[in-house]
A and B are shown apart, each in its own frame.
Chain A
Amino acid sequence: MKPTLLLALALFATLPAQAGDTTPAQQLQHWSAQAGSPGDAARGQAFFTKRHGGEWSCASCHQAPPTRAGQHASTGKAIAPLAPAVQPDRLTDSAKVEKWFRRNCKDVLSRECSAQEKADVLAYLNALRP
């Protein structure tokens, strides 16, 4: 085997999940399968916009609907729109989706989100149009 090919393979093997390894539709499918029932956009919208006992809702940072840029609720840093129809690189990196669900669900609900909640939110996000 050529050294360059070996190198390419070695590089590939060490790379974690990365941008482009999934699509918004695949993410919705994945979490719907995990939940055992399809994501529901209306339920996702309600979940996204309400507070869950804490200070913040998802929309506190992401806006409602998240088709516009948001702003971090405590630091003020700009956050790109979350809707894939507006921001095409959204929901295309499975590790990133998983990481931000974990972190942000803890911020908003003080726990991780269930598979059904994730499926619902994804259904909502995927249905948004500019």
Chain B
Amino acid sequence: MNARHLLPLLALIAAPLSHADSDRLMPARVPDAYKAECAACHTAYPPSLLPAASWQRIMGGLEHHYGTDASLDAATVKQLNGWLQAHAAQGGRRGVAPPNDRITESAWFVREHRGIDPAVWKLPSVKSAAQCAACHTGADQGDFDDDRIRIPAGVTPAQRRAFLD
């Protein structure tokens, strides 16, 4: 079987994970502390975007959290870590711990955003790849549906094409 035949097959397998077109990635019950503590600074990332081992490392080192101090009291760390572990990615593409335990360095993330011009990430309206909501308007609710993508301000017509693919 050559690659051309394999691709549609792969797409079929990956479809439920890669596009999340209709279902939300966020568990039904999100701890208030997750919104208050984690989502104060960044997107409320759905736990299933990282494997349990990554969450374990992240929650074990909150004093040095990607360049900031995100330290929390022990009880809250325990509560949030338990929730993250329970809903972490189970196998599949997202079950592989990405470099630096960064969602944005995951192979699947890079692949899904491969058409986005590197300059787009640096636009004032985007600022960083961690700012999911710059384009994914429902990101904080775990909604990454392609139908609800907003093209951020400052994107040129040429750069725009990648959003419409």
Contact = CB atoms under 8 A, between A and B. Distances in A.
Contacts of B70: 103
Contacts of A104: 69
A102 B70 CA distance: 9
Interface string B40-72: 111100000000000000000001001111111
A74 B41 CA distance: 9
Interface string B128-141: 10110110000000
A77 interface: yes
Given A75-B41, A76-B127, A103-B70, 5 more contacts: A71-B127, A75-B130, A77-B40, A77-B131, A106-B69
A102 B69 contact: yes
Interface in A56-99: 71-72, 74-77, 79, 99
Interface of A: 71-72, 74-77, 79, 99, 102-104, 106-107
A75 B69 contact: no
A75 B71 contact: no
A102 B69 CA distance: 8
B97 interface: no
B69 A74 contact: no
Contact of B131 (A76, A99, A106, A107): A76
A106 B70 CA distance: 10
B69 to A, nearest CB: 4
